[in-house]
Amino acid sequence: MRFPIRFSPLFIAVAATMAPGAQAADDSTQQGFVEGSSLNLNARNYYMNRNRHQHTDDNIEWGQGFLGKFESGFTAGSVGVGVDVHGMLGLKLDGGGGTDGSSILPVSDGNGKAPGSFSTAGGALKLRGFDTELKAGDLFLTNPVIAGGESRMLPQTFRGVSLTNHSFDGFLIEGGQVSFTKPYNQSGHKRIGTSYGTLPEGDESQHLNWAGVAWSGLPGLTSSLYAAELKDIWNQYYYDLDYTYAVNDLVSLNPGLHFYHTQDTGDALLGNIDNNTYSLHFTVGVGHHSVTAAYQRVNGNTPFDYISQGDSIYLDNSQQYSDFNGPNERSWKLKYAYDFAVLGLPGLTSALSYSRGELDLTKVDPDSRGYASWYSAEGKNAKHWERDIDLKYVVQSGQAKDLAVRLQWATNRGANGYGALDQDTDEYRVIIDYPINVF
């Protein structure tokens, strides 16, 4: 199934937001450039330990990151002007001598040691008028087809133009084009690549265009539709539908669907792509307990792919270590979550999940331009499973209010030819966030 489409260099789309968001936008405009400004800081301490069982060296890194974000209000008038500025600093606390490469710190130099520090700064000019906001410069983006990675010590950003509109209650219009990304473990910018495909040497995509429409016009019901073009690589389309129904004050039901279609476009730098991937989930919430069952399916002889380092994989079985998105992969997940507030421990939450997937790697084209490494003659019934434990505590009051400590543990094991893709791995993460709202 193929859906040809052409994108203009910059295009607009619609994505949903609640009506109060539109009012907030109006208030920000009225507050003025200085009166509507804010400065927020976040100090993130991040430790990651990847123990690869079939490898002589583990990936162990520990760092301290600092992120500062200043956002101005808008000048008075029918068209207001403002600026957003940010700065980032990453410090190495440990990593190197064969233990680097976890993706917390920059890629090591020739001696196997990551640099002691790395930093970056950026900004964006913004204009607002008639419920529409235009930004040009360095952007923080979050949507199903282009979401900057937030799961490491420092966030990923993009350089380009974005446009949003709040003219209609329950709707937000957005779209744009970006040409460069600042990866979360580097200082400089580079062209946007993909997470699972290998581009031929010397080839790269020049930009990514995106557009979307989402809606939340009824209580508990949300839906969105997005499209993106990673030039000369793929066109990608996304749809979701999510509904939360409160049976009573204690019990809630939450079914949901996520669907992606990806197809090659232009020069097809990664080769032929024709991929339909979807996930279904159903969650039952009872008081402070919730149980989720999810099923995910990849229909295609290439993996479901998304932009490098990004979080733009809005699929239910994307876990801490594995995305369960291999060629022709079927996977299911069972997850249990608990909120300890009922025991007098507000701010303490936990989750435990088990996921299992099966792939057919024999159907992958061994001569594919971008995905040949996924082929395995022994991988017709390749299997793997993952167990995830997540424990998080957020301080609720006092001097350390909003300080968050998160502990994560993932175990991934494979069999039946899965070793051609990855090794048995245990991964531990300790993440401490201390956000400060200066003004």
* Tens-place pLDDT, residues 328-348: 999 999 999 999 999 999 999
Contacts of 345 (CB under 8 A, 6+ apart): none
* Per-residue model confidence (pLDDT) at position 88: 97
Contacts of 294 (CB under 8 A, 6+ apart): 279, 280, 281, 282, 316, 317, 332, 333, 334, 335
Residue 287, Ramachandran bin (φ over 0: left; ψ between -120 and 50: alpha; else beta): left
Residue whose token pair is 């400065």: 39
DSSP state of 194: B
According to CATH, the topology of domain 14-437 is Porin (2.40.160)
Chain-centre distance for alpha carbon 197:
17
Q: Looking at the predicted structure, is the pLDDT value of residue 163 above 60?
A: yes
* Per-residue model confidence (pLDDT) at position 115: 85
d(C-alpha 279, C-alpha 256), whole Å: 8
For residue 215, give the nearest of 255, 254, 171 by alpha carbon. Answer: 171
Share the mean pLDDT of the chain: 90
* Per-residue model confidence (pLDDT) at position 192: 95
Cα dihedral: 22, 24, 27, 31 (round 10): -140
d(C-alpha 297, C-alpha 324), whole Å: 9
Query: Which range is least confidently modeled, 128-132, 226-230, 322-326?
Result: 128-132
Q: Looking at the predicted structure, is the pLDDT value of residue 268 above 70?
A: yes
Dihedral pair phi/psi, residue 131, rounded to 5°: 65, 20
* Per-residue model confidence (pLDDT) at position 20: 36
Is residue 257 within 8 Å of residue 294, measured between CB atoms? no
* Per-residue model confidence (pLDDT) at position 167: 87
Is residue 259 within 8 Å of residue 276, measured between CB atoms? yes
DSSP state of 106: P
| DSSP element (H, E) containing 29 | helix 19-31
Is residue 307 within 8 Å of residue 142, measured between CB atoms? no
Which tokens in the block code for residue 287? 């008081």
Query: Which range is least confidently modeled, 92-106, 227-241, 251-265, 421-435?
Result: 92-106
96-101 — which CB contacts under 8 Å span 24+ positions?
98/57, 99/57, 99/58, 99/59, 99/60, 99/61, 100/59, 100/60, 100/61, 101/59, 101/61
pTM for this structure?
0.90
* Residue 405 β-bridge partners: 393, 432
Tell me what the mean pLDDT of segment 194-208 comes to: 92
Q: What angle do CA 318, 139, 130 make, to 5 degrees?
A: 115
d(C-alpha 291, C-alpha 293), whole Å: 7
Dihedral pair phi/psi, residue 198, rounded to 5°: -110, 110
pLDDT band at 56 (very low <50, low <70, confident <90, very high): low
Residue type at position 67? L
Query: Which range is least confidently modeled, 11-20, 138-147, 227-236?
Result: 11-20
**Count of beta carbons in the 10 Å neighbourhood of residue 113:** 16
d(C-alpha 266, C-alpha 370), whole Å: 15
d(C-alpha 372, C-alpha 363), whole Å: 11
